[in-house]
Amino acid sequence: MTRSGIIAAVLAPILWLLLLSFGVGSIPALGPMLEISGGVWQHQSIQLQDQEIAGLEKDVLVAIDKNGVPHLFADSAADLFLAQGFVTASQRLFQLELNGRQTAGRLTEIFGDRALFYDEFFTRFNMRENARSTLTRYSEDPHIKTMIDAYVAGVNAWIDVMPDVPPEYKILGIYPEKYSALKVINMGKALTWSLAGRSFDPLMTTYLQRLGAEKVLDLFPEFLPDKYEDFVMPGRPKNPHPPENPKMFGFVSGLTDVPKFPLPNPGRGSNNWVVGPDKSTTGTSLMANDTHLSLTLPNTWYENQLSCPEFNVYGASLAAIPGIVLGMNKDIAWGVTNGTTDVLDFFEVEFENETSLRYKWNGGWEDAKVTKEKILLKLFGQKTVEVIETKAGFVLHREGKLGLAADWTGFRSGHELRAVRAQMSAQSAAECIAGWRDWLAPIQNFVCVDQTSVGWIHGGFVPKREPGDGRFIMDGRGAKPLLTTPVERVPQSFNPRQGYLESANQKIAPPGYPDYLGWDYEPPFRGMMIRRALTAKPKLSPVDMMDMQNENFDVQAEMILPTLLRLAAEGADQVWLGRLRKWDYRIRADQPEAAVFKAWWDAVKESLFADELGEGATRLLPKDARVIWMLEKLEANPGEADVRWVDDRNTADQVESLTEIVSGALEKGLKKLEEQQGKNENLWTWTDYNRTQFMHAGRLPGFGSAVLPMNGSTTTVRGQGGMHGAVYKAVVQTGSWPKAWMQVPGGNEGDPFSKNYARFVREWSDGQMREVEFYKDRDEAKARAERVIVLKPGGPR
């Protein structure tokens, strides 16, 4: 053997072993991961047994029902929340790990550089300090402090006694970190961001720079004619605020290169509605709720019952946070949809020079407050991020002397956990509504019912704004105080004459409401369909409510497709025009009509507006209802003012007609489907177009679900699209003891190698619900549960 041969033979295994030990790039550390004695193959399914836990004062009974739902009975709230932390961690430890890290900018530590973009953003956005100050505020309330501390102790008790770590830890080569109160808050912040971090201000500013205020307001109006709107608030107030007009937008930001931030996807589908006793076949109020979030395995929600002398409540908890956020007790039930109201504002800040930290404010100069935060990298090293705070907000981007600062109501601390706890022991719908006064962010449409009453509140910090505030990047050289004062009248309703209330992320208050709430809400179609179903029958039963949740009739298609078909009568694919004429507007998983319609409709909007709106058009086109109104006007009167949007400005030598645009769009839509699903049109399906599937909470490939065949789209009541959908569904019938049907797809089990992982996903995709077991007391729990265990005081401290 030559000398160089020997050197190569020795060096090669060293490099190989280093690679196996630490991984490189996207390749994980395969050595420990695939180890037979301790890697993924060494897997223990967790089944809770009687167990001693440090910190418990008395025994806690855990009754596990046939659906795998734990029912916890304790003699004190502190014991109850400690047990909740313990039981939740036994099934969801890795999810807790993720939830505690996301907004703290600590994902890079476990996922490597691919998470750095998010970590840098959240750090720069001051989420760390934000969480610390929120924890301080929450801790002012001794009940809430106990709640958090007990839950944290429970999670850590599990970490101390767990027989094995979940597989994700082995795959990522990490070990569970001790849980903390700050991580509880971080989860709350992550959810707040995902629900209230919605903003198109930078993109709208690009449109403003390109088109001017008049055209932008025309394409993105605050209100449309009644036919194209649905409002959560019943009735017609008569004190309108002044309308937006182009003259309000004299300031146009000079920022031209604003990067994409990890803003959350717009909400696409939560619904809730309640009917009062006069409209219910049971003679008592009914509530339906389906909350839509990212479809993840395990589910964001954790189904459980919590019982102690102060309350007995059943519903969905957020894995990582104590208490029950959505659910019912013996007297009331409550549910939420995202309120969607804009609470994230952007400001242009002017610095003294390109590198200065002095910024212009009210004619003078102020020093920005700068703090340095460290982001730990996965293997070695760290990255320092400067958090730059100005009076206009936190600076997220700099461009020459200009900077982009952001302010958000999520920075102001409320007492959200106190509000949640108030619901758990509320005894009436009125008490429930009042309990949300402590809730600040994210704004939610809370509905509450008791046996005789129904109520709704647009709960949270609803900022008082002048018309147009928060639509574009605003002047931050002495910004007027926004997001600091709440409206005097939070939109709400209690026992309305109509006998029902509904919300579906649509606009909150109709024209005539005195406060300006913004322009950016979800389309009205789901709300229209719910209202139609609620008024179709004089009285509704719980089964009717469940049927409504599965409603796949597309009001959007009903409103626009006839117009499209008339406009494209000639010169388009006659076979598909014929098939769409016969379509009943129901979105079925195994049929192609809905896919062809949606692809066509998307292409129509793209063809009409991409030339004017440019690159950003792929992110935000005018709302569907606005375009429907436009096409109807133009069909009736081809010379109508909206004709200015029809011609494709990219084809300078010709002027396209609306008929040409609509016909051409059908061809584009069909081509897109052909590229996606092949040439054989008989095999096209809505399922393959919509591609509903669950992904793993940590985005590990293969740990999610397959594409699921599901009826419905983002514009139907039964709504889901891509990796977003109804992660919690509930129908509650109030009474002397409530009855409820729920579905939490994925179930409670978070272990990807367990047979109960992804439980109920198939039932969920089939639209089935489960009647829940809500036990009155320990005796009933012992008698009816499938398995009973006892958590006892003791164990290692």
Partner 1 sequence: MALLLPLVWFGPWWSVALAALWTGWVSGPRFVNALQFASAAGVVSAALAFIKDGQNAGLIAPRMSRLFGMTYSPMIFLIVFGVTFVTAFLCFRAGGALSVLYRSRTISEKSVAPN
Residues of this chain that bind partner 1 (CB under 8 A): 1, 5-6, 9-10, 12-13, 16-17, 20, 30-32, 34-43, 45, 167, 171, 700-703, 752-755, 757
CB of 742 to partner 1, least distance (A): 26
* Location of structure tokens 């954790």: 302
For residue 112, the minimal CB distance to partner 1 (Å) is: 16
Cross-sheet strand order for the sheet of 333-338? 51-53, 787-793, 60-64, 70-73, 301-308, 311-318, 326-329, 333-338, 444-449, 454-459, 492-494
Distance of closest approach, residue 480 Cβ to partner 1, in angstroms: 52
DSSP per-residue string spanning 641-689: GGGGGTS-TT-TT----HHHHHHHHHHHHHHHHHHHH-S-GGG--HHHH
Two structure tokens written together for 649: 């400005």
Given a contact cutoff of 8 angstroms between Cβ atoms, the answer to whether 785 and 778 are in contact is: no
Nearer to partner 1, 17 or 569 (CB): 17
Strand order in the sheet with 344-350: 369-376, 382-390, 393-399, 402-408, 344-350, 474-475
* Closest approach of partner 1 to the CB of residue 745, in Å: 18
Angstrom distance (rounded) from CA 128 to CA 113? 19
Look at strands 286-294 and 474-475 and give their pairing: unpaired
Give the chain's radius of gyration (CA, Å).
27
Q: Which is nearer to partner 1, 553 or 760 (CB)?
A: 760
CB of 524 to partner 1, least distance (A): 40
Q: Quote the least distance from Cβ 28 to partner 1, whole Å.
A: 9
Q: Which is nearer to partner 1, 167 or 339 (CB)?
A: 167
Nearer to partner 1, 110 or 700 (CB): 700
Longest distance between any two alpha carbons in the chain, whole Å: 95
Give min distance, CB of 33 to partner 1, in A: 9
One-letter amino acid at 532 equals R
Which residue, 14 or 652, is less far from partner 1 as judged by CB?
14
Cβ distance to partner 1 smaller for residue 751 or 773: 751
User: What's the closest the beta carbon of residue 523 comes to partner 1, in angstroms?
Assistant: 35
CA 89 to chain centroid: 23
CB closer to partner 1 out of 700 and 742:
700
> What is the DSSP code string of 320-347?
TSSS-SEEEESS-EEEEEE-----EEEE
Phi, psi of 711, rounded to the nearest 5 degrees: -75, 155
Residue (8 or 790) nearer to partner 1, CB = 8
CA gap 484, 480 in Å, rounded: 10
Q: Are strands 326-329 and 382-390 parallel, antiparallel or unpaired?
A: unpaired
Which distant-in-sequence residues (6+ apart) come within 8 Å of 668 by Cβ? 599, 603, 606, 607
Q: Which is nearer to partner 1, 33 or 275 (CB)?
A: 33
Q: Which of 754, 697, 749, 688 is nearest to 722 (CA)?
A: 688
Nearer Cβ to partner 1, position 105 or 167?
A: 167
Q: How far is the CB of 733 from partner 1 (least distance, A)?
A: 37
Cβ at position 8, least distance to partner 1 in Å: 8
Nearest distance in Å: CB 51, partner 1:
23
For 30, 174, 326, 482, the CA distances from 18, given in Å and listed in that order, are: 10, 17, 48, 54
Residue 630: CB minimum distance to partner 1, A: 45
SS (H, E, C) 748-765: CCCCCCCCCCCECHHHHH
Angle between helices 555-567 and 624-636 (to 10 degrees): 40
- Residue 18 or 370: the one with the smaller Cβ distance to partner 1 is 18
Q: Read off φ and ψ for residue 503, nearest 5 degrees.
A: -145, 145
Cβ neighbours around 707 below 10 Å, total: 14
- For the bound state, the minimum distance from the C-beta of residue 703 to partner 1, rounded and expressed in Å, comes to 6
| Closer CB to partner 1, 36 or 636, in the complex | 36
Query: In the complex with partner 1, which residue's Cβ is closer, 9 or 783?
Result: 9
Distance from CA of residue 76 to its chain's centroid?
A: 33
